[in-house]
Amino acid sequence: MTKKRAAICLILHKKSCTRPEVKAAVKHVRQSVDFEVYIPWRGKDLRRFVRQAIADGAQRIVAGGGDGTLNAVVNAMLRKGKAPKASLGILPLGTANDFARGAGIAAGDLISALELACSGKPTSIDIGSMNGQYFINVASGGFGAEITATTPQDMKKALGGAAYSIMGFVKAFQLQPYKGRLILADGAVKEGSMLVMAVGNNRFAGGGYDVAPKACLTDGLLDIAVVSGERPERLGDLTEELKDPTSPKNKHLFYRQLPSFTIETDRPLHVNLDGEPIQSRRFEFRACPKALSVVLGTASA
Tell me if residue 276 is catalytic: yes
| DSSP states of 220-274 | S-EEEEEEESS--SSHHHHHHHHHSTT-TT-SSEEEEEESEEEEEEEEEEEEEET
Amino acid symbol at 239: T
Continuous segment of H or E residues that includes residue 119: helix 110-119
Query: Distance (Å, rounded) from C-alpha 207 to C-alpha 161?
Result: 6
R_g of the chain computed on alpha carbons: 20
Query: Distance (Å, rounded) from C-alpha 59 to C-alpha 64?
Result: 16
Residue 240 exposed, middle or buried by CB count within 10 Å (0-12, 13-18, 19+): middle
Nearest to 63 by CA among 55, 73, 54, 48: 73
pLDDT at 155: 40
Amino acid symbol at 73: V
Sign for the pseudo-dihedral over CA of 19, 46, 290, 219:
positive
Q: What is the pLDDT of residues 21-67, one digit of tens each?
A: 999 999 999 999 999 999 999 889 999 999 999 999 999 999 999 99
Assign domain 138-290 one CATH number from 2.60.200.40, 3.30.950.10, 3.90.45.10, 3.20.20.150.
Answer: 2.60.200.40
pTM higher than 0.75? yes
Q: What is the pLDDT of residues 184-219, one digit of tens each?
A: 999 999 999 888 889 999 999 878 888 899 999 999
- In Å, what is the CA distance from 234 to each residue of 170, 226, 237, 245? 16, 18, 5, 17
Which CATH code fits 8-126? 3.40.50.10330
pLDDT at 29: 97
Query: Distance (Å, rounded) from C-alpha 47 to C-alpha 145?
Result: 25
* Active-site pick, 36, 240, 264, 276: 276
Query: Distance (Å, rounded) from C-alpha 262 to C-alpha 284?
Result: 4
Q: Where are the domains of the chain?
A: 8-126, 138-290
pLDDT at 256: 94
Residue 9, C-beta contacts closer than 8 angstroms, at least 6 positions apart: 35, 36, 37, 38, 49, 50, 53, 58, 60, 61, 62
Q: State which residues of the chain have pLDDT below 50.
A: 1, 145-153, 155-173, 301
Query: Distance (Å, rounded) from C-alpha 173 to C-alpha 213?
Result: 25
Share of the chain above pLDDT 90, in %: 61
Residues present in the chain in total: 301
